[in-house]
A and B are shown apart, each in its own frame.
Chain A
Amino acid sequence: EVQLVETGGGLVQPGKSLKLTCATSGFTFSTAWMHWVRQSPEKRLEWIARIKDKSNNYATDYVESVKGRFTISRDDSKSSVYLQMNSLKEEDTATYYCTLTTRVYPNWFAYWGQGTLVTVSS
């Protein structure tokens, strides 16, 4: 069974940093492409980052609104993906989900974690 468990959310002040972790199991993590998607308090969904697998040089991609502030990374030995969030803004307040694509599920998000809530406020 595929499992994705996000942790690391919380209340943080504007301008500060936070690192999210997504621990996974139940699939071949090393060949999966991992993604982060966030959902605003207004319930809008926004894809924010992707990291490819080793054979694709761990290439990353980001939505424009987080470029230069957020960094996605992975540790294949721990089957985990991370999201380092710097210079946080109030508009980054959201529930953050990790999800994946694989050779079996290449063009859709078949599995989602339960999400972790990040609140950016002074």
Chain B
Amino acid sequence: DIVMTQGALPNPVPSGESASITCQSSKSLLHSNGKTYLNWYLQRPGQSPQLLIYWMSTRASGVSDRFSGSGSGTDFTLKISSVEAEDVGVYYCQQFLEYPRTFGGGTKLELK
């Protein structure tokens, strides 16, 4: 199985500051079609996960442009510019290259 490993944030993050969340995969997620099969989700307190980013860097519909995804085949970053109260929650990366689809352990973002 592909193992997804997420880094921690130096919480709490001051409002208006930027935050970067890292994720590493145990195998390259670069598909032969040129797309990287890495997704990011945010789970706000008391809610279900919601999609933020797919194919490593494409924002889902309705997602603020304060969120951006980048990376290589195995190392990925989700950057949140100018953190706001609505960004609080747990962020998960997920690989969609192989079954079983696996998730990172989550990175909690708290606001100062």
Contacts and interface: CB of A to CB of B under 8 A. Distances in A.
A21 to B, nearest CB: 17
Contact of B39 (A63, A64, A108, A113): A108
B51 A47 contact: no
A50 B100 CA distance: 9
Chain B: interface size category: 20 to 34
B48 interface: yes
B101 interface: yes
B106 A112 contact: no
Main secondary structure of the interface of B (DSSP, over half): loop
Interface in B9-64: 35, 37, 39, 41, 43, 48-51, 54-55, 60
B106 A43 contact: yes
Interface size class on chain A is: 20 to 34
A109 B49 contact: yes
A47 B103 contact: yes
Interface in A6-48: 35, 43-48
Given A61-B99, A108-B51, 19 more contacts: A35-B101, A43-B106, A44-B103, A44-B105, A45-B92, A45-B94, A45-B106, A47-B99, A47-B100, A47-B102, A48-B100, A61-B100, A107-B35, A107-B37, A107-B39, A107-B54, A107-B96, A109-B39, A112-B50
